[in-house]
Chain A
Amino acid sequence: MDFSRRTVMQGAASAATAGLIAGGAALLGRPAQARPAQALRPPGAIDEGRFLGACIRCGLCVRDCPPGNLKLSTWGDGMARDVAIGTPYFEAREIPCEMCEAIPCVRACPTGALDHALTDINQARMGVAVLIDEENCLNFLGLRCDVCYRVCPVIDKAITLEKISNPRSDRHAMLLPTVHADACTGCGKCEKSCVLEKAAIKVLPLTIARGELGHHYRKGWEAANRSGKPQFDLPVQRLPEHAVPGDLAPLRSGRDAYDPAGAASANAERAGR
């Protein structure tokens, strides 16, 4: 080996240049970590930070995806521009995950960036659906759309319809689509099929959609948290026997029919007193 001053200096210069180039590449990669919320990773994708190290960008998952919803980001137009180049993603509003039972995309992954431990597609957590725009959701407007609920592959677990009375008419019910994150796979069928011009229900990454409860909280009503018996009694609701004049939600409080005129006169009476 030649350890003359000249070769050592040249080696050092090359090494420094190489370091700069590698550092530059790492810096260029930084914006890629800010994946758009609507770009969803395939089932079983490991945590995004580690995913960008584990994914070899081969596209085998894309090739084995039957509905063809997976794409490799290409720095092309639209969302692809902002997803780390060469990595797989899908947009629920375009083509949602078909939730194949065999999960071929995960099985195709040679690096385990899609975790092979995922064998039950119902355990996939590609994101979580959030009914993000209640003001435009048809069910919140009092209509019976229910489409997101009907198409949910985990119907009645991931999305339920919760019945409440419609405060605008007080003689109708509203059936509110309600997502339960513990069962939602984030497949995006609800977002895809939302009948609005733009979906009111959207699948978002768990990191954005989910809060985190303080770890000291115990849900006493869940069996797992009970030590033999409930830690407290659920409060008993005491409702009046008859409609209270002026009560805005008399259906809850009694048997009497809705009587806006009576309520108005009662209010006037009260005001006159």
Chain B
Amino acid sequence: MSSDAIVSRSFGAARPAAMARPGQEAVQAKGWWRAHRFLVLRRLSQIAVFALFLLGPLAGVWLIKGNLSASLVMGVVPLTDPFALAQVLATRHWPELSAFTGAAIVIAVYALAGGRMFCSWVCPVNAVTDAAAWLRRRLKISTGKAPRGGLRYWLIPAVLVACAITGQAVWEFVNPVSMTQRALIFGGGVAWGAAAAVFLFDLLIAPRGWCAHLCPVGATYALVGTASLLRVSARHAGRCNDCADCYAVCPEPQVIVMPLKGKGGAGPVITDCDCTNCGRCIDVCGPDVFTFTHRFDSRKD
């Protein structure tokens, strides 16, 4: 599932100067806005999600209540995090119907939009790990080693088994994702330590370690989005000048290789469920190789 090592050997090492500041070329070619469009939109989306949650306690406008583990929109529509619900079910506790309805709605939306859009457009930890990856590039930190990308997919059953054995929602004792988002919505200073730990882990120990290798929450969303409709396509792969900026910014660079290079008869669409649909590759590409499209769009030039 992971070929990061290969990617960083073949592209990262070749152009160290460009890797420190990817996207320079795109700014020159397309201007600042088009070279940062999806990054800005994603940050706005992440901020908007938490602004909506905070509108209740701060301004008394209750559009959405709860947090990303479970919430209630407009007092009617429930939303439930699938991995959190899976943990509850693994403890053999049978929740109320609204928890199932909420998970069904969440799964339906992300199954269409791309499961890991949760990671890149909603999850606050994404901003933390993106910051760590950015600093890693700027400081040219090349030490550290991430665990295999497959680990996160093993963590899902491992956590659920631990839940079944202990009867407790085991991951919620350590989950920095739910801790951080809860700290944002409900306050609580010490939970920020979780976000700080993830930042340092990504910065010093494992490049893109948390989101791309460990987090079972994101892995669950990836599984949800295995057949998602919205995808990124390397439609204009012919224009690619091998600058490797997309690999440098991509949290899951292994997903780009095949569609971009068309090896083994791969189509142009990035169908790997690890792709977070963050669109950063679209931003940083000077020749505009990438574009958002649907998974059945095999146009290519």
A: residues with CB less than 8 A from B are: 10-11, 13-15, 17-19, 21-26, 28-29, 32-33, 49-50, 52-60, 62-64, 72, 74-76, 80-81, 84-86, 108-113, 116
Contacts and interface: CB of A to CB of B under 8 A. Distances in A.
B80 A56 contact: yes
A25 B154 contact: no
Contacts of A14: 147-148, 150-151, 154
Interface of B: 56-57, 62, 65-67, 69-72, 78, 80-81, 84-85, 87-88, 91-96, 98-99, 102, 147-148, 150-151, 154-155, 157-159, 161-163, 165-174, 178-179, 182-183, 185-191, 193, 214
Contact of A26 (B70, B150, B170): B170
B69 A74 contact: no
B168 A52 contact: yes
A200 to B, nearest CB: 31
Contacts of B66: 58-60, 63
24 contacts: A17-B154, A18-B151, A19-B154, A21-B158, A21-B214, A22-B162, A26-B162, A29-B174, A32-B173, A49-B167, A49-B168, A50-B91, A56-B81, A56-B84, A57-B178, A58-B69, A58-B71, A59-B67, A75-B191, A75-B193, A76-B188, A81-B190, A110-B78, A110-B98
Given A22-B158, A26-B162, A113-B93, 13 more contacts: A10-B148, A22-B155, A25-B171, A53-B166, A53-B168, A56-B80, A59-B66, A60-B66, A63-B56, A72-B188, A86-B178, A108-B72, A109-B96
Contacts of B147: 14, 17
Contact of A57 (B93, B170, B172, B174): B172
B118 to A, nearest CB: 16
Contacts of A72: 182, 186, 188
A88 to B, nearest CB: 10
Most interface-central of A25, A26, A58, A112 (chain B CB within 10 A): A58
A11 B150 contact: yes
A219 B165 CA distance: 40
A148 B78 CA distance: 40
Contacts of A57: 67, 69, 84, 169, 172, 178, 182
Contacts of A22: 155, 158-159, 161-162, 170-171
B13 to A, nearest CB: 23
Contacts of B81: 56
Contacts, number: 173
Contacts of B95: 54, 56, 110-112
Nearest to B103: A110
Contact of A15 (B67, B87, B158, B169): B158
Contacts of B168: 26, 29, 33, 49, 52-53
Contacts of B151: 14, 17-18
Contacts of A49: 167-168
A72 B172 CA distance: 13
B173 A111 contact: no
B186 A74 contact: yes
Nearest to B101: A110
A60 B182 contact: no
A103 B187 CA distance: 24
A56 B85 contact: yes
B208 to A, nearest CB: 16
Most interface-central of B169, B186, B191 (chain A CB within 10 A): B169
A74 B190 contact: yes
B67 A110 contact: no
Nearest to A81: B190
Contacts of B179: 85-86
